[in-house]
Structure 1
C-alpha cells in the first residue's frame, strides 16, 4: 500500500491510489469513510454528489505541492483548479490534523 508524508505528519498516512478512469470516477462514492486518503491522478476537480459524508479535498500540482484545500459537503460540484494535476480526498478534518495547507509538499511512497 502507498503512503504519504509531509513535514508535519508524525507517521506515514495510508494512501489509496485511483489512477484508472473508472477508479477516479468512483472516488469515495458508496463508502462510509476512509482510513487515510485517496489520491485521484490525474485529476483537477471532484464532486460529492451521492457521497455519504463530508470530505476534505486538496488540489495538488505535478510535484505534489498543495495548491488549495477545502471541505466539501455531500451534493456539491467542485470547479477545476488551474495547475492541479492530482486531487487528494479524505474525511473532513483529516487534512488539518495532517498539517496540509497551501504550499505544503507531499512525499508519496509506494506509488
Structure 2
C-alpha cells in the first residue's frame, strides 16, 4: 500500500512582523481520506518535534488513541482560529467556524511553542 502521508515539514509562527521558529521539524500532512481516517491511531506517542496536519478537517476524534494531544485549528490562510490543549483519548472536538485544517501536536507543545490565537503558521 502506498504511504498515505506526505513528507515532513518544519513549522514556524508569524506574529505581527516577527517570525518565530518553533523547533517542530517533523510535521506530516494527512491529506487523503485514508491518512485522515487513520491519523495518529497507529502511534503509541508523538515525539516533541512531531505533529500531524490534517487537511481538510472540520472535527477530530481521539477514539482508540493511547495518548493526550494538543490541537491547533487553522483557516485557509494558516491563521490560528483556536487551540485545545491536553485532549485525552476518547474525545470528540468540533473545529471553530472557518477551520480548514487541524494540527495535532504532542501534549504540551502549544504552550511550549507559544502558539496563540491569530498567529499565522508557516509550514516549510
CA drift at 1:11: 4.0
Q: How does 1:55-66 map to 2 (within 5 A)?
A: 55-66=69-80
SS class of match (2:34):
helix
CA drift at 1:85: 0.3
**Closer, same or farther in 2 for the Cα pair 1:11/1:49, shift >3 Å?**
closer
Q: How does 1:85-100 map to 2 (within 5 A)?
A: 85-100=100-115
TM-score by length of 1: 0.90
Distance (Å, rounded) in 2 between the aligned partners of 1:24 and 1:97? 25
Structure number with greater Rg is: 2
Asked whether 1:4 is paired with 2:18, we answer no
Asked whether 1:102 is paired with 2:117, we answer yes
Structure 1: 5+ residue runs without aligned partners?
Answer: none
**Closer, same or farther in 2 for the Cα pair 1:68/1:30, shift >3 Å?**
same
After superposition, the CA RMSD in angstroms is 1.4
Asked whether 1:28 is paired with 2:40, we answer yes
TM-score by length of 2: 0.81
Distance (Å, rounded) in 2 between the aligned partners of 1:82 and 1:52? 28
Structure 2: 5+ residue runs without aligned partners?
Answer: 1-7, 14-18
